[in-house]
Chain A
Amino acid sequence: MKRLESLTYIGLLAVLVLGAYIRFIPILETGTEWLADLDPYRNLRAVNEVISNCRMPLFDNLSAAPNGTYATYSTSQGYYMLSSALTLISGSSASLFLSFSPVIYEVALLLVVYVFGTEVANSRWAGLFAAFFVAIPRGWAMISLIGTCPLAENLGAVVFPLVLLLFWKCTVQKRKSFLLFSGLLLGISLLIHPVTYFYLVITIFVYVVLMCIIKRHGRMLVIGLEVLVISFFAVLIQFFSIRDFGYLSSFTHGALWLASLQPVYPVIDFYVVFYEVGGLVLFLSLMAFILVFLDRKWNYLILASCSIVMFGIIAMSLVVSLRPLLANVPFGAFIILSHRVMMPYLPLVLSLLGGIFVAEYLLPWVRTDNKLKCQISFKKAVAAFVLIIVFIAVSLPSIQSSLEYSANYKWASWAKKYAPLFKWAKDNTNASDVFILNEISLGEVVKTIAKRPIVFTLSYQDLVTPNLVKRMWLQSSVFIKGYDENLAQRLLYEFNVSYVIVIKNQSNLDILNKKYVFPAPDDSFPLYLQWMDSKEYLERIYSDLNLGFYVYFVHRDRLFNGEISLPEVEP
């Protein structure tokens, strides 16, 4: 039986190699100079700032939020500092380290999940199956958190199960020495990625309340409070480093806007959960969830509590009438933007529950504490082997899908394609020249590579700007036909925009209809360009027909700058 248990180490090694390889594919495809997504360019900018100034910058000069608001680099400071330390010590470029970070944090995450499953279920098979399920995600979980791009969520994903495991050890195993450790790590999660902290605090709260009700154990409440009090050091650090939490309300307002644009990407429904987690894991975790309560397996209650919280957040975000109310609550944005739960807090928890169900109920003879372990029969060993093979076979489409997803993830090569545009902007324009692009996401890359300010992007830093709605009007009116031309000119004048960039066949924001649109599909693009060329205040000064980008200079003296009132729109 010992031999069967030791097999799990070989399995773990295979899972680690698989998980790391999936994250390594974008590096093989495009190298380390270009990151695998667009948002991480903000992280790259922050890390470069820390390295060049030797301090954490208070704000980002290139963000839309006004300087002095402390909002722009206020979150994820811990992540930026850790990445800077690693970059400095490794002697590499920040982009090299950030490119590799998904691989590094993926290995750490899989190890943590393995330990979590092993400890909670007292079976290495539970840990192994959970790690296997986590290694092959899809959709949001693949994109951001444990996925292919270097975001703060990568690190937050590792911290999330680790804090839960340590807290579980404090409460169930009554190991007091882990109290300080879990409190410290909970605090650090705030400095790494506030979403992680928010979800952890709610999960701990729900878990403690459930334990108090079910087990009538008041001591749980004290332990929960102790952990929260220890983590308060991070709240103090965060408070003294930014001195202002006012941006939270701006962010929730921005989140409300994001949730109101069709198609609604950042609000997920249960179909997305089903598609991304997969029927197998969902079924296994559901069985485990039911059995937690039927069999009174309170050891797993922490995972059940976490899944209740995550599904609760998804359900709340789907109630449209609730969103304005949530927008007035601190951290309400993390509920409105429910895609966050897939990055990858919910998939992690469901994978753990699924792994535990397999080990606890489907492979009971491989449990270390099982009395049958010394008398394992040949038939049972064969049955166990067949079961494992069946799981692997059922998961093959998921493995294939993850590999394909990673290989086809286009952002790195897409950003690389526009390198001549960034170079031109850097060499031929002034540092203070403001740009506007019809492709919203590419703005982050322009800010980082060309180091030029962009009027509007969908990144967190730009959503906290007080004049968000005005910027959205500008974004729509300049690029979409049918908007008031005077409005576009007035806003171009007000925001001092010097260059307008049109990228072929890209979606843009239509604020009036509250949706993303393709203003110029391929077949009508020449007509669209004619329309842009006909604007007398715009002059085309640089273009690349092959790459499909067109740069216009804005003649400020020809712009309409009279008074004009913005039409009223609400998110």
Chain B
Amino acid sequence: MVVSVNVLMILFVYFLGEQTYVRFLLSVVYVLYLPGYSLVEFITTFEKSIKGVEKIAYSFGLSIVVVILFCFLLNYSPWGIRLTPLIIGISLFTMICMLVATIRKYKTLFKPI
């Protein structure tokens, strides 16, 4: 899901380009849900009790934290708050978090008893 939303977002932003309601909805998920979701996935490798609607609520909260802090970083960086640094930053963050979470989950799964 994370990979496909990332790919779709990049497609919409750089190749399809137009302002559509699909892009609008996708960007809401991409900014307000995905960063937090990937972080929650990472956290659930330690804290297994988070699930269901609770996961959605925490994903939203953590997304706000991640995106706002990232915007503050960009604000004081030479790049500023622009489209490309935002896309690169959010995509990289979500992919890395998911990768680490997946590796940790597989390690736990195949742990020798």
Q: Which residues of A contact B (CB under 8 A)?
A: 12, 50-51, 53-56, 77-78, 81-82, 84-86, 88-92, 96-97, 100, 104, 108, 111-112, 114-115, 118-119, 155, 158-159, 162, 166, 175, 177-178, 181, 184-185, 188, 191-192, 237
List of B residues within 8 angstroms of A56 by Cβ:
75, 81
Sample 5 A-B pairs with CB under 8 A, ordered by A number: A78-B68, A85-B31, A104-B28, A184-B65, A191-B72
Is B17 within 8 A of A55, CB to CB?
Answer: no
List of A residues within 8 angstroms of B32 by Cβ:
86, 104, 108
List of B residues within 8 angstroms of A92 by Cβ:
19, 23-24
Within 35-87 of B, Cβ neighbours of A (below 8 Å) are at 43, 46-47, 53-54, 56-58, 60-62, 64-65, 67-69, 71-72, 75, 79-83, 86-87
Residue B101 interfacial (CB < 8 Å):
no
* A100, B32: Cα distance in complex, Å: 14
User: Do A111 and B60 form a contact, CB below 8 Å, given A92-B24, A191-B68?
Assistant: yes
List of B residues within 8 angstroms of A55 by Cβ:
75, 80-81
Is A84 within 8 A of B81, CB to CB?
Answer: yes
User: Do A89 and B81 form a contact, CB below 8 Å, given A111-B57, A112-B60, A181-B62?
Assistant: no
* Nearest A residue (CB) for B12: A91
List of B residues within 8 angstroms of A85 by Cβ:
31, 67, 71, 81, 86
Residue B13 interfacial (CB < 8 Å):
yes
B74-113 Cβ-contact flags toward A at 8 Å (1 or 0): 0100011111001100000000000000000000000000
* A12, B67: Cα distance in complex, Å: 28
Q: Which residues of B contact A (CB under 8 A)?
A: 9, 12-13, 17-19, 23-24, 27-28, 30-32, 43, 46-47, 53-54, 56-58, 60-62, 64-65, 67-69, 71-72, 75, 79-83, 86-87
Closest 3 A-B residue pairs measured CB to CB?
Answer: A54-B80, A81-B71, A90-B27
Not counting A88-B81, A104-B28, A192-B64, a sample of 4 additional A-B residue pairs whose C-beta atoms are within 8 angstroms of each other reads A89-B27, A91-B13, A159-B64, A185-B62
* A315, B10: Cα distance in complex, Å: 52
Is A90 within 8 A of B46, CB to CB?
Answer: no
Is B60 within 8 A of A54, CB to CB?
Answer: no
Is A82 within 8 A of B68, CB to CB?
Answer: yes
* A192, B61: Cα distance in complex, Å: 12
* A86, B26: Cα distance in complex, Å: 10
User: Do A185 and B53 form a contact, CB below 8 Å, given A89-B13, A89-B31, A92-B19?
Assistant: no
* A55, B23: Cα distance in complex, Å: 24
Is A81 within 8 A of B72, CB to CB?
Answer: yes
Question: Which single member of B54, B56, B64, B86 contacts A88 (CB below 8 Å)?
Answer: B86
List of A residues within 8 angstroms of B79 by Cβ:
54
List of A residues within 8 angstroms of B17 by Cβ:
91
* Nearest A residue (CB) for B53: A115
List of A residues within 8 angstroms of B30 by Cβ:
89
* Nearest A residue (CB) for B44: A177
Question: Which single member of A89, A100, A181 contacts B58 (CB below 8 Å)?
Answer: A181
User: Do A162 and B57 form a contact, CB below 8 Å, given A54-B82, A89-B87, A188-B68?
Assistant: yes
* A13, B72: Cα distance in complex, Å: 35
Is B19 within 8 A of A90, CB to CB?
Answer: yes
User: Do A237 and B83 form a contact, CB below 8 Å, given A89-B27, A91-B18?
Assistant: no
Binding site secondary structure of chain A: helix
List of A residues within 8 angstroms of B69 by Cβ:
188
Is B9 within 8 A of A192, CB to CB?
Answer: no
Is B53 within 8 A of A108, CB to CB?
Answer: no
* Nearest B residue (CB) for A188: B65
* A268, B46: Cα distance in complex, Å: 46
Give the Cβ gap from A536 to chain B, nearest Cβ, in Å. Answer: 50
List of B residues within 8 angstroms of A82 by Cβ:
31, 64, 67-68, 71
Is A54 within 8 A of B81, CB to CB?
Answer: yes
Give the Cβ gap from A62 to chain B, nearest Cβ, in Å. Answer: 21
* A97, B65: Cα distance in complex, Å: 19
Is A158 within 8 A of B71, CB to CB?
Answer: no
* A528, B72: Cα distance in complex, Å: 51
Is A88 within 8 A of B83, CB to CB?
Answer: yes
Give the Cβ gap from A484 to chain B, nearest Cβ, in Å. Answer: 48
* A86, B31: Cα distance in complex, Å: 7
Is A111 within 8 A of B56, CB to CB?
Answer: yes
List of A residues within 8 angstroms of B31 by Cβ:
82, 85-86, 89
* Nearest B residue (CB) for A180: B43
List of A residues within 8 angstroms of B61 by Cβ:
112, 158-159, 162, 166, 181, 185
List of B residues within 8 angstroms of A159 by Cβ:
61, 64
User: Do A114 and B53 form a contact, CB below 8 Å, given A85-B67, A91-B17?
Assistant: yes
* Nearest A residue (CB) for B63: A82
List of A residues within 8 angstroms of B58 by Cβ:
162, 181
Give the Cβ gap from B113 to chain A, nearest Cβ, in Å. Answer: 25
List of A residues within 8 angstroms of B13 by Cβ:
89, 91
List of A residues within 8 angstroms of B53 by Cβ:
12, 111, 114-115, 118
Give the Cβ gap from A266 to chain B, nearest Cβ, in Å. Answer: 27
Is B23 within 8 A of A91, CB to CB?
Answer: yes
List of B residues within 8 angstroms of A50 by Cβ:
81
Is B54 within 8 A of A115, CB to CB?
Answer: yes
Is A89 within 8 A of B65, CB to CB?
Answer: no
List of B residues within 8 angstroms of A237 by Cβ:
72
Give the Cβ gap from B14 to chain A, nearest Cβ, in Å. Answer: 11
Is A188 within 8 A of B57, CB to CB?
Answer: no
Is A89 within 8 A of B9, CB to CB?
Answer: yes
* Nearest B residue (CB) for A100: B24
* A155, B61: Cα distance in complex, Å: 10
Give the Cβ gap from B59 to chain A, nearest Cβ, in Å. Answer: 10
* Nearest B residue (CB) for A191: B68
List of A residues within 8 angstroms of B71 by Cβ:
78, 81-82, 84-85
